[in-house]
Structure 1
Amino acid sequence: MNNKKDIIILGIESSCDDTSAAVIKNGVLLSNIIASQKVHEAYGGVVPELASRAHQQNIVPVVDQALKQANVNRDEISAVAFTRGPGLLGSLLVGTSFAKGFSLACGIPLIEINHLQGHVLAHYIQEEGVEFREPKFPHLCLLVSGGNSQIILVRDHLKMEVIGQTIDDAAGEAFDKCAKVMGMPYPGGPLIDKLAKEGNPDAFEFAKPRIKDLDYSFSGLKTSFLYFLRDRLKENENFIEENQRDLCASLQKTIIDILMHKLVKAARQTGISEITIGGGVSANSGLQNAMKKEAQKRNWNIYIPKFAFTMDNAAMIAITGYYKFQKNQFAKQDVVPFARMNIND
């Protein structure tokens, strides 16, 4: 039986196409179960209606498995945390509805979680038998995913400020859209990363936007890439096939250069040397190598999340819930999800 002082959080994540449940006890991860949806690959992107239906099928078995793996009974759980947004509304509704029902059935508090905060706090997940390096405050987090590209000033576990963000497309979207133009399957980002390792990153040049302050833009890069391929294909219909690795390497280098330029600028302006990355694109090996290179050059302390915590997962929702629980930041039963949310919403 667990000590009554133990804080055990059940986390639920359903913002996009992965159904996930995790259990965290006193900040230590006991389980993190993820059910991915393969159905979207045939469509070249996530289909919201199919995603929400799959969540309905997966949510109960995923939670059941998470509790069993953690060796935790329902009556031992202190609170249930769930992703309120941002994300696909239909998908969020499934997780929100389940969390509400679980909260009522067990008579425990309900905790709403901002998905973006979850990615930032993934660095504070502890695992038994795994060395734990905790970022000090304040630190800068480069949050890069399919839907977000932001530089976040993190003052505390629950005090964050976006100081730079994309004004149009996200870095992950640029990866996937450019991959689609080259005829690659969805998601294209991981495949570009793999092929880029065998290509020449200086083979081709693509447009880099000039955006003021610390904001990003990737729509111009996508257009530049599209027009470049269009012109080359007129000259050689096999251009993509013959140059795929160099195209991937050059595209990846361009995206990483754009990301790192603003991150370096933010670190210089704030004087902060504690730097973290998060989100799906933080799994990119090129970005991780660029981070390590800048860290050596600029004497940064960098924190790169474990691969499992870069993707959408309930462990990051549960750890955020753990910190909100200690602040008694609970939600009411009439809480509703939002497709769009800012970091502090």
Structure 2
Amino acid sequence: MTTNFSDETLPSGQDLLVLGIESSCDETAASVLRYRGEDDVEILSSIIASQDEAHAPFGGVVPEIAARAHMQKIDGIVEQAMDVSGMSYESLSGVAATSGPGLIGGVISGLLAAKGLALALDKPLLAVNHLEGHALSPRLAEPCPFPYLLLLVSGGHTQLLSVNGLGDYTRLGSTVDDAAGEAFDKSAKVMGLGFPGGPNVEKWAAKGDPKSVKLPRPFKGRDHADFSFAGLKTAVARAWEASEQTDKAKADISASFQRAVSDVLAERTGKAMAMFKDMHGEDAKRFVVAGGVAANKALRERLTQLAISNGMSFFAPPLKFCTDNAAMIALAGAAKLAAGQTDELGVKARPRWPLDNAAAKANPASGYGKKGPKS
């Protein structure tokens, strides 16, 4: 199957209705989306069942608990999404589901549900790369023409990619150890801020002094666009151990950590912007940030200013579509369907599935170290 395609293959005025299912980590989600091309996308429903309460005692996602929850919830979530959309199953044009990368038990649960529906309804199956869903997610709110530079930053990924067209990606940089989102979660766990870590660190950071604790900026000044967050995560743990472990310490360390992550992401992205401009010349006009960490308001403000200073427009999905959701999976599936690309029922779930295979073979590290669930 070819992976390069264009919206131009969608016949003018054709209305595609796609059910999307997402289950790659700890959200069970389903969405129904109407698609007439990149300039005409309508989300008819988007249902997300969080597992935060189940994983909170452990300070992170437990794969076995996540897989069991997906199996228990998936049918009801799909039914709810269809009910809210007001559409019948028979009216669907296709069924899309995340088929990787991610925690394999969860991916299998969602993909099997999609296969069952596709078979029963005699509708096309669309196996979607979770990362491609994030890459296209800004288009849920507004048109975002190719090419654009993408910073994909979440609990499982920290990557910079040149998005040249649908299915056409060039990786410019990635993390060599931990993802930024993991650093947020682990730092929150060390300080007892609760799970999920990202939103809790952001809340505490609002009360603290970002200059109070000296923390490293890994790879600062290096002539590449890769990231490293393991040392920063360790530095936070040491700062907490050395502190009086008061609420003030929580606030100050959180603020200093959030500032350090923002500095690293902005500095590394600046390097990628120069590379992107060398690749695309005058067409290098757009910068996109997506993924769960993109919901951090301080980071958004920093990256917006970075884009402006580099003469680029800033795009990001609405906050509710930064974290894992099924609307982005439905959108990617609809784009595939518009191009005439469908998948066999025998398609397999994949724990690893990089967008840029060439870069992945040369440098496979990607999120949660080299053994990450979403590498």
Note the C-alpha offset of 1:205: 1.4
1:224 aligned counterpart, secondary structure: helix
* Alignment of 1:243 onto 2:249: yes
Q: Give the residue type in structure 1 aligned to 2:127.
A: E
The aligned residue for residue 129 of structure 1 is none
Note the C-alpha offset of 1:228: 2.9
Note the C-alpha offset of 1:240: 4.3
Structure-2 separation of matches of 1:328 and 1:177: 42
The aligned residue for residue 235 of structure 2 is 224
Q: Name which of structure 1's ranges 307-316 and 212-221 shifts more when overlaid on structure 2.
A: 212-221
Structure-2 separation of matches of 1:19 and 1:40: 14
Note the C-alpha offset of 1:139: 0.6
Q: Give the residue type in structure 1 aligned to 2:43.
A: L
The aligned residue for residue 362 of structure 2 is none
What value does the CA root-mean-square deviation take over the aligned residues? 1.5
The aligned residue for residue 8 of structure 2 is none
Structure-1 separation of matches of 2:287 and 2:23: 28
1:295 aligned counterpart, secondary structure: helix
Q: Give the residue type in structure 1 aligned to 2:218.
A: P
* Alignment of 1:30 onto 2:39: no
The aligned residue for residue 90 of structure 1 is 105
Note the C-alpha offset of 1:327: 1.4
Structure-2 separation of matches of 1:88 and 1:156: 27
Structure-2 separation of matches of 1:9 and 1:183: 41
The aligned residue for residue 90 of structure 2 is 75
1:17-48 CA-to-partner distances (Å, cap 9, x unmatched) read 11111111123211111111121111111111
Alignment of 1:46-85 (within 5 A): 46-85=61-100
Note the C-alpha offset of 1:325: 0.4
Which residue among 272, 280, 291 is the counterpart of 1:266? Answer: 272
Structure-1 separation of matches of 2:320 and 2:314: 18
The aligned residue for residue 209 of structure 1 is 218
Structure-2 separation of matches of 1:214 and 1:293: 19
Structure-2 separation of matches of 1:224 and 1:186: 20
* Alignment of 1:295 onto 2:307: yes
Note the C-alpha offset of 1:241: 3.1
Structure-2 separation of matches of 1:243 and 1:87: 34
Note the C-alpha offset of 1:86: 0.8
Alignment of 1:107-256 (within 5 A): 107-126=122-141, 132=142, 134-210=143-219, 213-230=224-241, 232-233=242-243, 238-256=244-262
Does the aligned pair in 2 maintain the 1:267–1:273 contact within 8 Å? Answer: no
Normalising by structure 1, we get a TM-score of 0.92
Structure 2 spans left out of the alignment, 5+ residues: 1-12, 36-40, 278-283, 358-375
Structure 1 spans left out of the alignment, 5+ residues: 127-131
Q: Give the residue type in structure 2 aligned to 1:160.
A: Y
Does the aligned pair in 1 maintain the 2:181–2:293 contact within 8 Å? Answer: yes
1:12 aligned counterpart, secondary structure: strand
Normalising by structure 2, we get a TM-score of 0.85
Which residue among 111, 117, 121 is the counterpart of 1:102? Answer: 117
Alignment of 1:299-314 (within 5 A): 299-314=311-326
Does the aligned pair in 2 maintain the 1:229–1:240 contact within 8 Å? Answer: no
Which residue among 55, 68, 71 is the counterpart of 1:40? Answer: 55
Structure-2 separation of matches of 1:102 and 1:279: 28
Structure-2 separation of matches of 1:229 and 1:20: 36
Does the aligned pair in 1 maintain the 2:262–2:302 contact within 8 Å? Answer: yes
Q: Name which of structure 1's ranges 269-278 and 145-154 shifts more when overlaid on structure 2.
A: 269-278
Q: Give the residue type in structure 1 aligned to 2:96.
A: A
CA 1:344–1:71 in 2, change beyond 3 Å: closer, same or farther? farther
Moved over 4 A (4+): none
Identity of aligned residues (%): 40
Structure-1 separation of matches of 2:131 and 2:246: 35
Structure-2 separation of matches of 1:14 and 1:342: 17
Note the C-alpha offset of 1:344: 4.6
Q: How many residues were matched structurally?
A: 331
The aligned residue for residue 276 of structure 1 is 288
2:46 aligned counterpart, secondary structure: strand
Structure-2 separation of matches of 1:53 and 1:244: 34
Does the aligned pair in 1 maintain the 2:287–2:313 contact within 8 Å? Answer: yes
The aligned residue for residue 317 of structure 1 is 329
Alignment of 1:324-339 (within 5 A): 324-339=336-351
2:117 aligned counterpart, secondary structure: helix
Which residue among 18, 21, 29 is the counterpart of 1:20? Answer: 29
